[in-house]
Structure 1
Amino acid sequence: MLVTFKCRSTPDVVMLRNLAQYLLAFIGKDVGSRGVISRHELDEAIPRLERAIREEARTEAALEALHHVPNDHSSHDDDDAVKHRAWPLLDMMREAHRQGDDILWGL
């Protein structure tokens, strides 16, 4: 299932529901059927999501080091990391903050 985030000042951001729920949990929101990140919440929400992305990147790097197999030539697709999939929502949040707009989903 997909969730579409909407904001007047940016293009829509569409993501899988489980990823949306995962990211929204970092800022204290639940994906539910509808929701909003108000312009007043963005001051706190943006740094919280940025911090969560940085912490996850450190965790992924540590796990990769623990599970590294020398001469393993298998493909590790780093593009699937949550940090890469979170950037569109984070960019939307930053622009909404600059423009003083809310972010809505479930309309």
Structure 2
Amino acid sequence: MLVTFKCSATPDVVMLRNLAQYLLGLIGKEVGRRGVISHQELGDAVARLERAIREEARTEAVLEALHHVPNDHSSHDDDEAVRHRAWPLLDMMREAHRQNDDILWGV
């Protein structure tokens, strides 16, 4: 199932429900049927999501160093994918914060 985030300051952001739940969980929200990140919450929410992305990147770097196998051609795209898929929502959150707008879903 898909979740569509809406904000008048930006184009819609559409993502899979499980990714949306993961990202919203990082900022203390739940997907639910409907939801909102109010413009008052956005400053803290942006900081929390950015911090979580940085911490995830550090953790991945440490794990990669610990488990590095020379000439290992396995793909780590799945690890990188969550971080890259977070950027559209993070960009929406930043712009909504700049424009004092809310982000809604399930409407």
Moved more, 2-11 or 78-87: 78-87
Counterpart for residue 45 of structure 1: 45
Counterpart for residue 6 of structure 1: 6
Q: Which runs of 5+ in 1 are unaligned?
A: none
> In percent, how many aligned pairs have the same letter?
84
Q: Which runs of 5+ in 2 are unaligned?
A: none
Distance 1:103 1:88 in 2: 13
- Which portions of structure 1, spanning 4 or more consecutive aligned residues, are displaced by more than 3 angstroms? none
Q: Deviation digits for residues 40-91 of structure 1, max 9, x if unmatched? A: 0011111011000000011111112222111123343378431111000000
Distance 1:4 1:40 in 2: 21
Kindly tell me the number of residue pairs found equivalent between the two proteins: 107
**TM-score, normalised with respect to structure 1:** 0.93
Distance 1:95 1:46 in 2: 10
**TM-score, normalised with respect to structure 2:** 0.93
Partner SS state of residue 4, structure 1 = strand
